[in-house]
Amino acid sequence: MSRVILHLDMDAFYASVEQRDHPEYRGRPVIVGSSPDQRGVVCAASYEARRFGVRSAMPSRTAWRLCPDGIFVRPRMDTYRDESRRIFQRIRDTGVEVEQVSVDEAYLEATRLFPPDPRHPDLALEAAVPFARELKERIRSERGLTASIGVASNKLLAKLGSDFRKPDGLTVIRDADRVAFLRPLPCRALHGVGQVTNELLAKSGFHTVGDLQDHPGDLRALTGSFGPTLKQFAFGIDDRPLELGDDIKSISSENTFSSDTADRPTLRRCLREQADEIAGKLQRRRLAARTVQVKVRYGDFTTLTRQISVEDPVTDPRDLYRLGCWLLARENLVHRPLRLLGLGASGLLEVRCIQLPLPFPKASTEARPA
* Residue-wise pLDDT tens digits, 205-241: 999 999 999 999 888 888 888 889 999 999 999 998 8
CB 283 within 8 A of CB 317: no
User: Looking at the 3D structure of the chain, how many domains does it have?
Assistant: 4
Same domain, 9 and 154: yes
Same domain, 222 and 270: no
Same domain, 341 and 278: yes
Same domain, 9 and 121: yes
Question: What pLDDT does residue 115 have?
Answer: 93
Summarize pLDDT for 139-172 with one digit per residue, the tens.
999 999 999 999 999 999 999 999 999 999 999 9
Same domain, 169 and 293: no
Same domain, 254 and 345: yes
> Is the pLDDT score of 359 beyond 70?
no
Buried b (16+ CB within 10 A) or exposed e, 17-31: bbbeeeeebeeebbb
First to last CA, the chain: 56
Kindly state whether residue 367 falls inside one of the protein's structural domains.
no
Same domain, 69 and 157: no
Same domain, 9 and 138: yes
β-pair type (338-350, 287-298): antiparallel
User: Most confidently modeled of 101-110, 206-215, 245-254?
Assistant: 206-215
Please give the residue range of the domain that contains residue 295: 250-350
> Is the pLDDT score of 103 beyond 90?
no
Say how far apart CA 73 and CA 106 lie, in whole Å: 26
Is 137 among the catalytic positions? no
Q: Provide the CATH number for the domain around residue 35.
A: 3.40.1170.60
Q: Looking at 105, 109, 311, 350, which residue is catalytic?
A: 105
CB 127 within 8 A of CB 178: no
Say how far apart CA 139 and CA 108 lie, in whole Å: 15
Kindly state whether residue 48 falls inside one of the protein's structural domains.
yes
Same domain, 216 and 102: no
Looking at the chain, list the stretches that DSSP marks H as alpha helix, in order from N- to C-terminal side: 13-21, 47-50, 60-66, 77-92, 122-143, 155-164, 178-182, 195-203, 209-214, 220-223, 227-234, 264-284, 317-330
In degrees and rounded to multiples of 5, residue 80 shows phi and psi of: -65, -40
Mean pLDDT of the chain: 89
Same domain, 41 and 153: no
Q: Regarding predicted confidence, which is higher, 83 or 226?
A: 83
For 250-263, give the secondary structure using H, E and C. EEEEEEEEEEEECC
Q: What number is the average pLDDT over the span 277-291?
A: 85
Q: DSSP assignment, residue 360?
A: P
Same domain, 9 and 132: yes
> Is the pLDDT score of 362 beyond 50?
no
Kindly state whether residue 239 falls inside one of the protein's structural domains.
no
Say how far apart CA 55 and CA 58 lie, in whole Å: 6
Q: Percent of the chain beyond pLDDT 90?
A: 64
Confidence category of residue 358, pLDDT binned at 50, 70, 90: very low
